[in-house]
Structure 1
Amino acid sequence: MANNILVSIIWQLFWCSILFPIIHFGISLVREVTPKIGHDERLFPRDILYNTDLLNKHRVKIADELYRGFKKIKPSPASVEVRVVASNRGNDFLYQTVIFLLEQQASSYPSFNYTMQICNVESETFSDLKRFDKMEIPISTLGDQSKNAKFLNSTLKKENDDYWKCMALTTDSRYILLIEDDAVVIPEFSNLLKSLVRKLDDHEYVDFVKLYHPNYLRKLPSYALMGAVSISLSFFSCYAIKSFFKTFPILTFLILSLVVFYDFTTYGCRLSADFRYYLTGSAYFSYPESCCTPAVIFRKSSVKTMYEYFSRSVAFEGHAKDHILDESPFTGRQSDVNYVTHIGSFSSIRQRAVFLSDLRDN
């Protein structure tokens, strides 16, 4: 009896050693042929990816070329109004954010269009904003001279107040997309946004969708999908070899599920998102994870109630506007891929450098 059990275990382990390399090769092949929609080699070339200053100059040069060839798009009704939350942080971040948004707008017009506006959260017009005079982009100044922030808590409070004021501005569009001024849109931005609008039209209970979450922090939604795929691959692999066993090889199935899941995690959270998008051409969203507001889309019909709630909120260290949004009673979702790349290598809130992990996660 003991010998039979030992032989069965060895036999099942043997089949694990046969099946896993096959599955691993299949996964690596899928990763190789599936384009990474979140990475833009033109704006983030790999040979200078670790040189933040050179990378920034490279993007500014491209933005300058686009700026010189800029052609104004005729105003037309749009489902989405994009609002850039702008502060005087320098480094041409705002310039890049706006220019690459305009490039995406031009690439999708007239089949899909969005209007644009800039929310100036300073008390007066700063020099970077004047660069957009040629483009005739509406600018709303929300800053208050009496609220100049000198300490972390007061800075977080001002940032929180300004953000919700920008959200609450009137619009004729059905959705309002807030983008912070250090976020550059990805190459598939317009296509994803168009698909997302259709999905939101079908899910009227969703009040907002977060369109950015650091890849290294993506856990539950992506892990759940990886787990489901790992179990499915392992089950069908074991089903294919069950004729070599008297019963279903449960040990092979369990071990294979675990090692395949681990193999998936080594490719990061984006493999499943990239594959799903190129298979269907559709945007997807799931339950949100806590953190981050570089890009959030809000349903206009929910904005009045949301502003009444958020205008009473108080931000402080450890409880910034992203925490306030996460803890709110409104129904939120999170996109399965980042619609923007965060380029702000210096935090104006905490006055220190930050690690741009997403740039190295492609």
Structure 2
Amino acid sequence: MIRVHFTAADFARVRFASRPAPLQELNVALMKMCSPDDTLLFGRWRRRLLQSLPPTVQPLSDLVPAEVAPHFLDVFSDSLKEGLDTVRASPPELVRAEIERVYARQPTPAPLWLRDLYRGDGGAWRLLRRAQHAAFDTALRPVWPLVQDLHRAEFTRHALTVAEHGIGAALTELVPGARLHENVWEFEASYERDITLGGRGVLLLPTFHWTGPPLIADLPGRPVAVTYPAGPGLPLSPGGAVGSDEALAGVLGRTRFDTLLLLGEEHTTSALARRLNVSNATASAHTAALRGAGLITSTRAGRAVLHRRTALGSLLVQCPGQGTRPVTVSDRGSP
């Protein structure tokens, strides 16, 4: 059982990662590859990945010789370059302590390059960076657009839950069987642990390559990061991607999705109702939910209320690297 102890300040500092974290997604993909899941689909995925990984990736196997990984690999930056730079900037004392911890029970000494990393050698750091980059290119880059789409849908789902039911409901829905009792968030794990936040807050990050219990990163002076499984429960494949429109509409509901698309330009409530072919009351209810999730803003102008999409709302309705798509709203009614 994991028990996370909140203060009032911590509840105000719960944050859902707005974008996926390339290196953390890579970490869990490699963990899954090494897990004893022998189901047919995961077995095929594991064999295909093992066969395709280049020799450049070998240092990662040296760095994580068993199930225990050094904590300086737990990086939650939302770009690959920034994540790699963050790993390189890890405090030397943390790197040394973590290498010692990982190899404390190993029957063989650490490889030569890892002893160089322990001493802070620049060549060893470059070797590790190439290994992480090559592993990402092989394991994740082909499915990264799907990871981004799934993440956007998951982020939106929780934003709406928080807007309509509060942060407590979002935390209890995050992990099956999770409970929030007063100021303690509890969820099942294979070990007992109490974590006191003390004002640091929590970062919640969905992952789409892990099906086990949530993974906890608890480093001093940083928010406690909880990486939780949110995928379909099957290995991701490039051919399995769904359109980002469909993924987001499935979470928001078709009418709210259409509302968000329309509000790239300012609309009054009555204008939205006409475009969506719904009543003014229905349009008002949908804009209230989207506003509560931070996806639109609403301002009063005389007797009318003007609505427009926020930067976050625009982020959600844009495909990576593309602009906002135009929308033609038909008679779809409410979700």
TM-score by length of 2: 0.26
Normalising by structure 1, what TM-score?
0.24
Q: Please tell me whether Structure 1 or Structure 2 has the larger radius of gyration of its CA atoms.
A: 1
